Chains A and B, each alone.
Chain A
Amino acid sequence: MTQKNRIAGGQIDRNTTCKFTFDGRTYAGHAGDTLASALLANGVRLMGRSFKYHRPRGPMTASSDEPNALVHLRSGARTEPNTRATTTELFDGLTATSQNRLGSLSFDLLAVNDRLSTFLTAGFYYKTFMWPAAFWEKVYEPIIRRAAGLGTLSFEDDPDVYDKGFLHCDLLIIGAGPAGLMAALTAARSGAEVILADEDFRMGGRLNSETYTIDDAAGADWAAATVSELANMPNVRLLSRTTVIGAFDHGIYGAVERVSDHIATPDAGKPRQILWRIYTQKTILAAGAIERPIAFNNNDRPGIMTASALRSYANRFGVAVNKRTAIFTNDDDGHRTATDLHAKGVKVIVIDPRADAPRARDYEVLAGAQVVDTMGRLGLTFAKVCLADGTERIIECGALGTSGGWNPNVHLTCHQRGRPVWNDALAAFVPDDLPAGMTVAGAAKGDMSTAGALAGGAQAAHSALELKGRLPAIPQAEDAPVNITPFWYVEGASRAWVDQQNDVTVKDVKLSHQEGFRSVEHLKRYTTLGMGTDQGKTANMGGLAIMAELAGKTIPEVGTTMFRPPYTPVAIGAFGGRHRGQDFHPKRLTPSHKWAEEQGAVFVEVGNWMRAQWFPRKDETTWRESVDREVLATRKSVGVCDVTTLGKVDVQGADAADFLNLIYCNGFAKLPVGKARYGLMLREDGIAMDDGTAARMAEDHFVVTTTTANALSVYRHMEFVRQCLVPDLDVQLISTTESWAQYAVAGPNARRVLEKIVDQDISNAAFSFMACANITVCGGLRARLFRISFSGELAFEIAVPTAYGDALIRRIMTAGAEFDITPYGTEALGVMRIEKGHATGNELNGTTTAANLGMGRMVSDKKDSIGSVLSRREGLNRADDLRAVGIKPIDPTQPVPAGAHLMISDGPVDAAHDQGYVTSACYSPNLGHHIALAFLKNGEGRIGETMRLVSPLTDIDVQVEICSAHFIDPKGERLRA
C-alpha cells in the first residue's frame, strides 16, 4: 500500500485517504485522485488489454479522450464496463477490475493474437470469414464475439435512477479552463443568466495541470478563486462533472451531469446521473485542446502517454509516473513537460526531431532524433532512439511522453454539419462554420496561450451578450507562441499504433489505402480507426496525415470524418431517465378497473389501456371456459362490458353535419336529432381508416366514436380537416375519451336492466334501434344513452361522467342481478363481433377499401368526402377484388386460424394462387365450432364453395366452407327487438 510514485504538490487532499481495489488488490490514493492517477502513484502502469491483439496497455491521457485505460468499475448490478480510469474520480471503497482478457491482466491468453498480427490486419474479417457461408453463424461469429469487444455487461438491472432536467440560460459556457472561467466572470458580472459546465470534477481545465501563474497566483489558485466568486453569484449555475454531449438545433444542448458517480452509491433520493436539456440564447465553446501522440514502433506500451498527461499527473495529482522519463516532441509544448518534471526531481531526456529544437541547461535534448522502438513486456523499460547522425542509442526510461501538437477541440462546432478548417501555424484543424449562437474561445479556437485564452474568453462573452462598455481587466499570464513542425509518425514504422483503442497501426492505414479505400470515411469503416468509446480523439489526425501523405494530398484536402453527438459515451440509462419498466409508458385504467379487479378479472393492455380480458370463475380452468360462458350468458340474458376506451370526439357547431359529411364516406347531413349512425372514414387514397358511430345529440352537436387504437390519430386527422381544409366551417372538436365512462349493456334483458337505472322511457317505441339521447340516471345524474350494438344483441351503451363510472357499473350489476347479468371482457366482445360479422382493426388493416369490407355502396357519390374520389379508382374496383366473407370448417372440430390463406380445393398451394386470407377467428360457443372472417377474391360470388385453408408455417391445412360473415341473426332482428 505504498504510493511509491507520489511526489509533492498537486490538488489532491492528502489528509483524505481512499482505499480501493484493482483486480482484487488493495491500494490507497487520495481524494482528488482519479483511478488512473492513484494506480500510477502506486506504480501500476498496466491497466488493460487492447481490443484486437490483447496488448498490455496503460493510460495514454489524463482526460476523457482516453483510448486505453478502460476498466470495469464497481461490482454486481452496478458494474459499469469501459469506464475510463483517467476520469473516474477516486472514492473510498472503489472497486475496479481490468477487462478484455482471458486469464490475468499480466498473463492474457488471447495475447496470442499479437503473435498472429501478420494475419489480423485491416479487413481481416471481411477477407477471412467469407466462406463457407454456413460457417458464419455457427462457427465464426461465436468465436469472434467471444474474442472481440472490451467490457461486458452485468446482465442485471441497474439499481440506480437517472433523471432528466431542463435548464434555460442567456449564456452557456462549455469548459471551465482559463477561457471559460474568464467568459463566465465577464458574463456573470453583467447580470446575465449563465451556466458554466465542465466535464471534470475540478474546474480550471489545464490551469490545474500547469505551473503557470496568473497575475501573482498559481494558475490553479486563480481558477479556484474565480470558481468561488462565480459560485456566490445568484445568476450563475456551475455544473461540474457535467459533459455537454451535443449541440442541437436552435440553441438546445444536451449535457450529462454525473451526480453520484464519484461516490459508492447514490445518496437516498438522488439520481445517479441527470441528462440536462439546456436551452440557451448564446453559447461559448471553451473546450480546450487535445494533445495528439506520435506513432513509432511499439508506441503503445504502458508508461507511454502524451506529454501533457505526464504533466497533469505530476502537477495536478502529485504523481511522477517514473523517475526516468523521456519526452518525444515535435513542438515547444513538449519541452514544458520536461521542465516541469525536471523541477520535480525526475530525470528527463528530450527527443525532438527538429534540428532547431530548443536547448535546455538542466537536461539532455536530442535534437534531430527520433524514437524508433521501445522495449518492456508489460511496461516500458527502454526506448531506442535514432540520433541525428543515424546512430542508435538505448535510453532507460519507465515513462515516455509524446507530443505531436494540439488539436483544438472542435467537436461540438461540427454537430450541425460544420466543417473545421486547417491552420498551418498550429498544424491542426480549427473551428469554422459554427452552430447559430455559438462562439469559440481559447485553445478550442486555436488560441493556445493562457493569455490568449483569458482575453478570448472575456471578449467572447462581451460580444455574445452584446455588452456595452469596456472589457474587464485581463490578468497577466504566459503568452508563448506555438512552435511546431508537423511530425506524425516515424519513417519506416509499421507496428506503430495510430489508434490504440482499435489496434489500428500505420501499416493498417497503408494497407487500407493500397486496397482502394481512399475516402476518409471509408478508411474509418475499413480499419475501425476512430471508432469505439473515444471516437479517435487522439487517433484521427494521425490517420488523416498518413492518408494524405499516401494520396499525395494535403491534410485539409483529405478532410475530417463527421463529428457526431455524443461527445463522450452516455449510459443508456441516462437517455431513458425515469421512463423505465412500468414508467416507460403510462397505464391507463378504465373507470371500472377497481371493480373489475375485485371480480378477479384478467387484464390485457390495449393501446395503454388495461382492459378486462375475461372474468374467470373459481371452477373455470381455461380462458376459453370463461369466454364461452360470458358469450352464452350475454346472448341468453344480459352482459355488461366497459367500452370507455373507445375514442370519443365531441363535434359542435352550426356546420357540424357538413363536417361529418366530409370526414365520413357515408352521409350524415340528414341524420335526425336523436339518432346515431355507423360511419366509415377513408384515407384520401381511398383505403379505410377507421370506423365508429356518430350520434346526433342536437342539431349542432354530434358525439363521434373511434376505435380504441386510433383515438389519437383520428382526432388529429379530424383537426387537420377542420383547420387545413375547411377553416371557416362553424365547427369545434374536443376529445372527450377520458371524460365519459361508457358501458355496453347487451342481451335480450338489456332493456329490463337499464329501465331500473334510466329515469326516462326507453321502450322500443320511445327509444328505437340507433336512438341516442341525453338522459338522466339514478334520479338525476346527467348521462347519455345510445342504442347501438356491437354484439348483435339488443344493446345499449350508457355513458356517465367518468367520476361516476365506478358507481354506475356497481349499480348496473345490482340492477342486473335478477337477470344473472354477466360482465364480459374483450375476448367475449371479440367473439360476439365475429359471430355478428363486424369489422375491427383486423379488417380495417390499412390495405382494405370500403368495397373489400362489403360496404362499397356506403361511399356516397352525392357528396364530397375524404377518400371518395380515389376510392373509385379502377385498381380498387376490380371484379375479383377481395370481399369480406365468413369461414367455417367442414370438420367442426378443426380450427380456422387467423393469418391462414385460402386456396382452391384442388389447385396448387402457393402464393401465385392465393385466393385470400383469414383476418379474425374464434370459437363460437353458439355454433359449437370455430368460425372466422376472411377476405376472399370475388367473395360474394363464392358463398358455399369448399376451399383449403392453409398455413404452411404452422402446418395448417383445413377444408372450409365459405359462408356469410353474419353467423348470428343475419336479419338483425335481435338488435331491433
Chain B
Amino acid sequence: MSKHDTRANAVRNTGKTAQVIIYIGLVLWMFINLFPVYWMFTFSLKNNEEIFGKNVVGLPQHWLWSNYTSAMNTGKMWRYFLNSTIVAVATILITLAVALMATFALTRMIWKQRKTMNKFFMLGLTIPIHASVVPVYVTLSRLNMLNTYWALIIPYAAFSLSMAILVCTGFMNEIPRELDESACIDGCNIWGIFFKIIVPLMKPAVATVGIYTFLQCWNELMFANIFISKNDLKTLPVGVQGLSGQYTTNWGPIGAALVMATFPTLFVYIFLSRKIQESFIAGAIKG
C-alpha cells in the first residue's frame, strides 16, 4: 500500500466520522423540533390530572377523544377556523396585489424619490404591532368597520406590506429588463407590461409572500381580540383563548382546539413544502 493511499483512506475515514456526527446532530435537532407536535397531540387527549403533573410527556393513559367533541361543541371551532381562513386568504391576496404594484413602481418606473420611498416602506419592519392598537381601533370605529372581516384584513395587510415589498423587490429585479423593452416595442402599454410580462413571472413570489403573510396573521391575537366582538366573526386564536376561563379551566379541550388550529397548517405546509422551498430559493432576497 503506498503512502498516498493511506492518506486518502484516512481522509475518507475522517470524512465518514464527520458525516456520522453531522447526521446525529441533524436527527437530534429534528427530534427537538418534532417534540412540540407530539406533545400537543398527546396533551389534547389527556385530562387535567395527567396534564398537570401525573403524565406530562408520556402517551395518554386514556385516550380522551371526547376532548375533541367538547372543543367542537363548546366553542364554534369550525366557524372560527373558517373566519381565520377567510381573513388569511383575503389578506394574502390584498398584500400580494398591493405589494406587486408598489414594487413595480419601485423597481421599474423612473422617478426621483425611488430610493427614499423604498426605505420608507422598510420602516414598517420596525414598528411593533401593539403600539398601533388604539389609533387603529378609533379609525376603524369611525369608519364603522369594527366587527367586519375588513377590521382585520386591512391592518394585517398593512403590517405584511413591508416584508412583501422586500421579497417582491428581490424577485422583480431578477426579471431581465429586456423583456419589458421588447414588450414595449411590440406595442404594450404599461398595463400590458405589468399584467402580461411581470405578474406571470412573479409566480414564485406568491408562495414566499403567502407564507410570510400567513405567519403574520394566522396566530395574531391582539388585533383579533380587540377589533372583533361578534361571536360569528371571531378568529381561531381568540376562540381558542376563549376556552380558558377566569375561574376554572379544563385543559384537555384547549389542547384539542390547539391541535385543530395548528395541524391543518402543518399539513398544508408539508403538502406544499417542496413548492414553498423552491420558491424561496428562486426568490432568495438579493438585497
Q: Do A and B come from one complex?
A: no
Listed in ascending order, the chain B residues whose CB lies under 8 Å from chain A are none
